[in-house]
Amino acid sequence: MEHTTEASRRNENAVMSRPDSKTSEITRARSFSALELPDDAIVVVDNALPEAWIDALPDPIVVEAGESLKRLASIEELAGQVLERRSTRPLTLVGVGGGSIGDAVGFLASILWRGVDLWHVPTTLLAMVDSAHGGKTAVNLGAAKNQLGTFYPADRVVLVEEALATLPLEHRRDGLAELVKGLWLGDADALELLEADGGVGELASAPFDDIRERMMELLERAIDVKLDIVDQDLYETKEIRTFLNFGHTVAHTLELHTGISHGQAVCWGMLSASFLSDFPRLRRHVYELLTPAQVISAFEDRERFCAGIKRDKKRIEGQLRSVLLDAPGEPYVTREVSADDWYEAFREAVEWFESTPALVERRVERAASLEISASKSEMNRALVIEHLRPGQTRIDGYSTADDVAWLRRCLAELKGAELKGAELKEAESQEADGPTTIFAGEGGTTFRFLSAVCAARPGETVVLAAPRLLERPHDALFDALRAAGATIEPVETDEGKGIRVRGWSTWPERFEISAELSSQYATALALLSTSGNGFELALSGDGSIASRPYFDMTLDLLRTAGVDVTEGDGSFQFAPTPTLDEPATLVAETDASSAAVWAFARLVGVEADVARSPQSGRQPDARAADIAAKLAKAHEEGVDSVDVDLAEAPDLAPVLTAVATQIDPQVNIVGAAHLRHKESDRIGDLAQALADVGIEIEPRDDGMTIPAGGQTPRARGLWPTYGDHRLAMAGLLMTAGGTPLLIENPMVVAKSYPTFWHDARRVGWVVGAL
């Protein structure tokens, strides 16, 4: 059954010109089957909603949501469908869906017979707290978005709890951004409730039933704030309604230039505003909603940022109007903040978010099934193959990990430069822009794969990279590329340091490389075979390949792409086949390295399952489950000591070590000398991180020994990550017993697992800014 909440604003029978009461009655329903609609209702519903929800509605008009629904032709077609069902008053149009449904149905309700009754049933938290209220409708005029519209508040907005219970968590976080905004604008007393019982992070991550009552109360209070603001300034003739733009000055620019979601953009906007208004409390609220993203970290183009700010739609006569806070619940509009001021605040916000230590504590035991994105190892190989391969290539899998994002961006820039070069050549132009410059970030695969790709393309390319990455060993790969005819030399520019690569003039028939230190060297060369050029790859030194399963992963993907691979005595022969020119699909499975965290976490009582575990066996870190089972058995049987050989899966060492410090048997990690040449020295640095929080292990040249008996870290000790995502994940597992730690530079997890801290919250951790 529905029940009217304290947010009710006006009599449901006042529907036409709305001269006295301008906003909507707010009611709640537990489910779509409990939704009570008037007898004269015509329902318009989004076809993407669950079938059970649609079936619960009476004879709905099912439409495809999105910008196409907001075309005038679509509105005319929708009106025809409505009139086929009911051609006389009374008539109540009911829009069930997100923002575009609300816009289209609201606009039609305002013009059909000069106005009919209107109900909104928003199906996302973002729509419930924001777009369903305020009375604005908008449709598109040709290609121009939102050029036609009306002010037409709905008679009723129904909040269906079933929609929130099944909402994907990333969409819940987007909606919470607007909810937090609303409370900071007009309900300071609600902030204590926002912070209660695990705070914003718990609202963002817990099962809906666990936070139902708190969420619904906060939602109603945030809606009250918006309705109160709209009541005072429905037609935007005063500056009161401008308060709702809080956080949006920056948000609109970030959405345009980075493609992040609206909710994430609003969070960055509010975080930026918190540095202009100086509200650390607001920072802590926003922190728990944000997901680290390479596109945000790398957005340092002041000119583009400021140009976007200067186009803000709330300008009057070209003057930028910004919304800041005097105190919680006390917003104000100012013309004293420039676009440059916003840029400085944004960069300060990024620096604070990425560097502020996280206070991490496991407070409850909660089971969850986690969705982890595709393997960055498989994705990066697939992206290079897609770039080089002549045939159409589809990649089944997606990842927002920084290493993948950087490679995707760099390959797109190289492709754009090649297309421009072809156009200039066709036009017989003598114009020359100089070398293409790309930035490879911090990933070893990204930098090494790009080095090989650039050696195989004509002209010069400058590949810049993070300082720590340039300190890692790459000489074996560079020497092999030079021997094949490429020129590679170190370079330093105003933008940073890296290498200058000039590609070879003729394709080499043979490469020779030592892969004893890293399989990535051999993989970088092998991937070039997807361009359609055959060659031999000979292994020098002792003929071994470090982490051989990663090279086998490469060979498997090459064969799928259409390359014939023959392994000989210390060499490989790569030959193109006709299928290189045909369509192909490359599958990138769930990232086994990320899933390994939760496989080991089960040893210390964390109930986390990973949906769609990798099945192909290509990823070496998929061994984590078997190693965890071995350790569990040893623990149960009272075995004194267990040896674990990580020669083929060295990335498991940090999280395995963290768990091993908390169980009874002595654990001896062996065969992993190359750990010292990863993102950090994963032997020496890991031992130091443990020592910093009072845990002792014995580092060795090829691994480490973790003594028997279990150890407890020092409460609130600072866990250094040395810029290494795997060490940050290990830091979390060190707190599995309930002892809180401070994790330094926690957002380094974005390199491989951007949603890591959100997932930790799902299984009972509280993760907040210090």
Q: Is residue 504 part of a domain?
A: yes
Contacts of residues 578-584 at CB distance under 8 Å and 24 or more positions apart, as own/partner, are: 579/391, 580/389, 580/390, 580/391, 580/530, 580/532, 581/390, 581/391, 582/391, 583/391, 583/392, 583/393, 583/394, 584/389, 584/391, 584/392, 584/393, 584/394, 584/560
Same domain, 626 and 645: yes
Same domain, 123 and 108: yes
Q: Is residue 708 part of a domain?
A: yes
Burial 62-76 (b: 16+ CB within 10 A, else e): ebebeeebbeeebbe
Residue 405 structural domain: 376-587
Confidence of residue 384 (pLDDT cuts 50, 70, 90): very high
Same domain, 748 and 618: yes
Query: What pLDDT, on a 0 to 100 scale, did the predictor assign at position 457?
Result: 94
Query: What pLDDT, on a 0 to 100 scale, did the predictor assign at position 419?
Result: 62
Query: What pLDDT, on a 0 to 100 scale, did the predictor assign at position 434?
Result: 64
Q: What is the pLDDT of residues 537-551, one digit of tens each?
A: 999 989 999 889 999
CATH number where 48 lies: 3.40.50.1970
Same domain, 388 and 414: yes
Same domain, 546 and 629: no
Question: Which range among 426-430, 528-532, 612-616 shows the weakest confidence by mean pLDDT?
Answer: 426-430
Is 394 strand, coil or helix? Answer: strand
Q: What is the mean pLDDT of residues 559-568?
A: 98
How many domains are there within the chain?
3
Same domain, 583 and 598: no
Whole-number Cα distances in Å, 90 to 120, 151, 534: 17, 21, 74
Whole-number Cα distances in Å, 463 to 147, 321, 443, 480, 526: 44, 40, 13, 17, 20
CA 506 distance to own-chain centroid:
41
Same domain, 466 and 579: yes
Show the DSSP H helices in 154-279 as ranges. 161-165, 169-186, 191-195, 199-205, 208-232, 248-258, 262-277
Same domain, 420 and 366: no
How far is 378 from 587, CA to CA, in rounded Å?
8
Same domain, 8 and 77: yes
Confidence of residue 154 (pLDDT cuts 50, 70, 90): very high
Same domain, 27 and 116: yes
Helix (H) / strand (E) containing 587: strand 584-587
Confidence of residue 613 (pLDDT cuts 50, 70, 90): confident
Q: Give the contacts of 690 (CB within 8 A, at least 6 positions apart).
A: 657, 661, 696, 697, 734
Q: Is the dihedral of CA 668, 670, 672, 673 positive or negative?
A: positive
Note if the bond before 746 is cis, omega within 30 degrees. Answer: no
Q: What is the mean pLDDT of residues 455-476?
A: 93
Is 402 strand, coil or helix? Answer: helix
Q: Tell me which of 540, 565, 587 is where a domain ends.
A: 587
Give the chain's mean pLDDT. Answer: 91
- Tell me the CA end-to-end span of the chain in Å, nearest whole number: 43
Query: What pLDDT, on a 0 to 100 scale, did the predictor assign at position 6?
Result: 36
Q: Is residue 211 part of a domain?
A: no
Share of the chain above pLDDT 70, in %: 93
Query: What pLDDT, on a 0 to 100 scale, did the predictor assign at position 23?
Result: 67
Show the DSSP H helices in 12-135 as ranges. 51-55, 72-85, 99-111, 125-126
Report yes or no: 119 and 153 within 8 Å, Cβ to Cβ. no
Whether 674 shows a pLDDT value over 80: the answer reads: no
Whether 604 shows a pLDDT value over 90: the answer reads: yes
Q: Is residue 197 part of a domain?
A: no
Confidence of residue 678 (pLDDT cuts 50, 70, 90): low
Query: Whose CA is closest to 446, among 538, 548, 523, 534?
Result: 523
Query: What pLDDT, on a 0 to 100 scale, did the predictor assign at position 368?
Result: 96
Q: What is the mean pLDDT of residues 432-457?
A: 89
Q: Is residue 272 part of a domain?
A: no
How far is 266 from 286, CA to CA, in rounded Å?
9
Report yes or no: 573 and 555 within 8 Å, Cβ to Cβ. no
Radius of gyration of the chain (CA): 29
Same domain, 517 and 387: yes
CATH number where 366 lies: 3.65.10.10
Q: What is the mean pLDDT of residues 85-98?
A: 96
How far is 15 from 109, CA to CA, in rounded Å?
11
Q: Tell me which of 122, 148, 167 is where a domain ends.
A: 167
Q: Tell me which of 535, 561, 587 is where a domain ends.
A: 587
Share of the chain above pLDDT 90, in %: 80
Q: Is residue 345 part of a domain?
A: no
Whether 701 shows a pLDDT value over 90: the answer reads: no
Q: Is residue 423 part of a domain?
A: yes
Q: What is the mean pLDDT of residues 408-425?
A: 74
Strand 666-670 and strand 641-645: pairing?
parallel
Q: Is the dihedral of CA 473, 479, 484, 487 positive or negative?
A: positive
Query: What pLDDT, on a 0 to 100 scale, did the predictor assign at position 422?
Result: 52
Q: What is the pLDDT of residues 51-76, one digit of tens each?
A: 999 999 999 999 999 999 999 999 99
Q: Is 384 exposed, middle or buried (0-12, 13-18, 19+ CB in 10 A)?
A: buried
Whole-number Cα distances in Å, 314 to 136, 241, 242, 317, 569: 15, 10, 7, 10, 69
Same domain, 599 and 530: no
Q: What is the pLDDT of residues 360-377, one digit of tens each?
A: 999 999 999 999 999 999
Q: Is residue 353 part of a domain?
A: no
Query: Whose CA is closest to 440, among 409, 414, 472, 417?
Result: 409
